[in-house]
Chains A and B, each alone.
Chain A
Amino acid sequence: MNMAVNELALQKKAIKLVDRRKLWNRYKSQKSLFFMIIPCMIITFLFSYWPLTGWIMAFQNFRPNKGYLKSTFVGFEQFKFLFQDHIFWQDFRNTLVMSVLNLIFGFVFAIGFALLLNEIRSLGFKRITQTASYLPHFLSWVIVCSLISNILSTYDGTLNNLLMWLGLIDKPVLWLGEQNYFWWIVAFSNVWKEMGWNSIIYIAAMSAIDPQLYESCEIDGGNRYHKIWHITLPGIRPTIIVLLIMNIGWIMNAGFEIQYLLGRGLVMDVSETIDIFVLKYGITLGNYSLATASGMLKSVISIVLIAVTNYISGRMDEESVF
């Protein structure tokens, strides 16, 4: 009896040993795979994960010469200050408003452009239009801002010239110096830059729609608009919904460059985003703790939003990343 139990235990031990040996062998056979990936993981860890330890600054009165360890801890003081600061709330509002405008305009124009382009019969013309529409996507924001400020210039700017020629205005408008216009300028600049690029995915989704559906619609007496409304749009609806949900996750990122480059002087109150707030307090004024706190707040909201939206879109179609 005892012997049998012993034997069983021994057998189990042997099996375990063999398993471990097997696992070890598998690791050994994959030596080169680990060799290829571990350096990349170290770099990623260092530049993407290690900086998270810097969030400790948000709970301190951080002084660079004292370092993380010797700076005094102040608990949630920085956040308290932040919540009472009306500039922060103003920047928070600006971020959200510009983001939502970008989102709505971005979607409407990209989908509209894709629908119209889809109706073009000549392949050559379609291709040329599409290539032209990508062009601004590849230009940097710096260059785009330079072009925009030229177009909107009061002195010989194209938009002012055009409107004056049409008789809509009597004298040039200072587009970039008026608070009312700034959000719209940002929204339309984004449309200009990304419309063609964002439409790629819709055009691809449209080309995947079964042509038989169009034929049967035609037999039922449907015209072009029926086809667009009842076949094309429903055909790309899954794409639209997934992209919309994913973009809502990025709502805290209203962009930084155009607001920073074009939002000077008079329009500062409506142009500053949280990213600019961080830059101003952190790098320019040297209040690292406050800047980190606001950056951290933004990151945390962002991460939660992305996690939620990613979960929702993952439930909706099974191709979520996690």
Chain B
Amino acid sequence: MTQIALRKNRIKLEPVIFYSVNTIIMVLVMVVMIYPFWNTIAVSFNNSQDTLRGGITFFPRQFSLYNYETVFKNQLLVIASINSVLRTVISTVLGVFTSAMVGYVLSRPEFLWRKFVTRFFLLTMYVSAGLIPQYFLIRNLHMIGSFSVYIIPGLISAFNIIVVRAYMQTLPSSLVEAAEIDGAGHFRIFMQIMLPVCKPVLATIALWCAVGAWNSWFDTFIYCFGKDNLTTLQYEMMKMISASMSSGTNKSADAIYGNMIVTDSVTPVSIRAAVTIVASVPILVVYPFLQKYFVNGVMIGAVKG
């Protein structure tokens, strides 16, 4: 009797235990994913002298907007923000357009060079000459220290092309055939039919392009070194980390903050927190809304790439 009761109990108990443990693990995952960022937000809104006392966790102790004020008053950081926004917008628009255009051509079954051109683009995903030859190419093209270095070299992405092409191939062929019968040329079909129909996949690619452009700093570091008017937010951020890493602790200020208005009331830690937030908020605002698109995009990319 007791054994049966026990067994019944166990059967009922097991799911409860499993779901509780699983839910706790998931909540922990969420905390681990979000906390570092949340904490940075709290620090960025906290009075910087107070932050040095330590112990800021979820909420600011002494609320202050002074850190952000300092960031936005700094000439270099304002230029950096403008450049970051500009390069993101331009390379997203151009990147999406070219990927869609190449994807369209490669999705046309009658295109004569289809096989060759597809391989021509695909190979670029695997073959890379490396940093130094790339550097000399950019140098020979006189693109060092010019804004175009942010846009042109990364303009065409084979991966994005494959994703767009795969999406277009799933569309019914009658879509294009009907337009062809009506006498529309390829460019017109592309602009007026394909672009609107492919909105979901283009949203995915736009997100990837935008994230890539917004997050990159290496091109500024290599090609626009020392050009203050071409600096980007991520690069400024990188300089701050380098300074804090080489000085050992987060507390000590470094030469890098010479051009920051360092006063008694602003510390590197707080400034870095504020810049971190400024440099990541634009993307964080956008990505949850595009979630359903990029999940599909990942699937297409994984299957085809």
Q: Hey, which bits of chain A sit against chain B, CB under 8 A?
A: 26-27, 30, 32-33, 35-37, 40-41, 43-44, 46-55, 57, 64, 113, 116-117, 119-121, 125, 128-129, 131-136, 138-143, 145-151, 153-156, 158, 176-177, 192, 196-197, 200-201, 204, 223-224, 243, 256-257, 261-262, 264-265, 275, 278-279, 282-283, 288, 291-292, 295-296, 298-299, 302-303, 306-307, 319, 321-322
Give chain A's interface secondary structure class: helix
Contact of A155 among B54, B187, B222, B288 (CB under 8 A): B54
Give the CA-CA distance A157 to B164 in the complex, in Å: 44
Of B62-70, B197-205, B246-254, B258-266, which binds chain A? B246-254
Q: State whether A295 touches B131 (Cβ < 8 A).
A: yes
Give the CA-CA distance A255 to B18 in the complex, in Å: 37
Report, as a range, how many residues of chain B touch the other chain. 35 or more
Q: State whether A48 touches B240 (Cβ < 8 A).
A: no
What are the residues of chain A within 8 A of B242 when measuring CB–CB?
261, 264
Q: State whether B283 touches A138 (Cβ < 8 A).
A: yes
Contact of B26 among A120, A153, A278, A303 (CB under 8 A): A120
Query: Which of B1-60 touch A at CB < 8 Å?
Result: 14-15, 18-19, 22-23, 25-26, 29-30, 32-37, 39-40, 54-55
Q: State whether A57 touches B245 (Cβ < 8 A).
A: no
Is residue B147 contacting chain A, with contact meaning CB distance below 8 A?
no
Q: State whether A44 touches B129 (Cβ < 8 A).
A: no
Give the CA-CA distance A257 to B219 in the complex, in Å: 12
Q: State whether B25 touches A143 (Cβ < 8 A).
A: no
Q: State whether B216 touches A140 (Cβ < 8 A).
A: yes
Distance from B167 Cβ to chain A, minimum over Cβ atoms (Å):
16
Q: State whether B303 touches A319 (Cβ < 8 A).
A: yes
Give the CA-CA distance A149 to B244 in the complex, in Å: 9
Q: State whether B222 touches A283 (Cβ < 8 A).
A: yes
A-B contact pairs, 19 of them (CB 8 A): A26-B112, A33-B108, A33-B186, A53-B133, A54-B134, A128-B30, A132-B29, A134-B291, A139-B37, A142-B237, A146-B237, A147-B36, A148-B36, A150-B269, A155-B54, A265-B246, A275-B131, A278-B130, A302-B128
Is residue B193 contacting chain A, with contact meaning CB distance below 8 A?
no
Q: State whether A201 touches B299 (Cβ < 8 A).
A: yes
Of B73-81, B152-160, B170-178, which binds chain A? B152-160
Contact of A117 among B26, B234, B302 (CB under 8 A): B26
Q: State whether A299 touches B101 (Cβ < 8 A).
A: no
- The 5 A-B pairs of least Cβ separation, nearest first, read A54-B133, A295-B130, A140-B215, A51-B129, A156-B54
Given A138-B211, A295-B131, are A32 and B187 also a contact pair (CB < 8 Å)? yes
What are the residues of chain A within 8 A of B214 when measuring CB–CB?
140
Q: State whether A37 touches B117 (Cβ < 8 A).
A: yes
Query: Which of B103-148 touch A at CB < 8 Å?
Result: 104-106, 108, 110-112, 117, 119-122, 124, 126-137
Is residue B280 contacting chain A, with contact meaning CB distance below 8 A?
yes
Is residue B72 contacting chain A, with contact meaning CB distance below 8 A?
no
Contact of B250 among A155, A177, A275, A303 (CB under 8 A): A155
Give the CA-CA distance A145 to B34 in the complex, in Å: 15
Give the CA-CA distance A120 to B101 in the complex, in Å: 41
Q: State whether B249 touches A153 (Cβ < 8 A).
A: yes
Q: State whether A322 touches B237 (Cβ < 8 A).
A: no
Centre residue among A33, A151, A283, A288 by max chain B CB count within 10 A: A33
Distance from A227 Cβ to chain B, minimum over Cβ atoms (Å):
12
Is residue B279 contacting chain A, with contact meaning CB distance below 8 A?
yes
Is residue B229 contacting chain A, with contact meaning CB distance below 8 A?
no
Given A30-B111, A131-B291, A142-B241, are A37 and B101 also a contact pair (CB < 8 Å)? yes
Is residue B227 contacting chain A, with contact meaning CB distance below 8 A?
no
Is residue B298 contacting chain A, with contact meaning CB distance below 8 A?
yes
Is residue B185 contacting chain A, with contact meaning CB distance below 8 A?
yes
Give the CA-CA distance A299 to B234 in the complex, in Å: 27
Query: Which of B253-305 touch A at CB < 8 Å?
Result: 269, 272, 276, 279-280, 283-284, 287-288, 291, 295, 298-299, 302-305
Is residue B102 contacting chain A, with contact meaning CB distance below 8 A?
yes
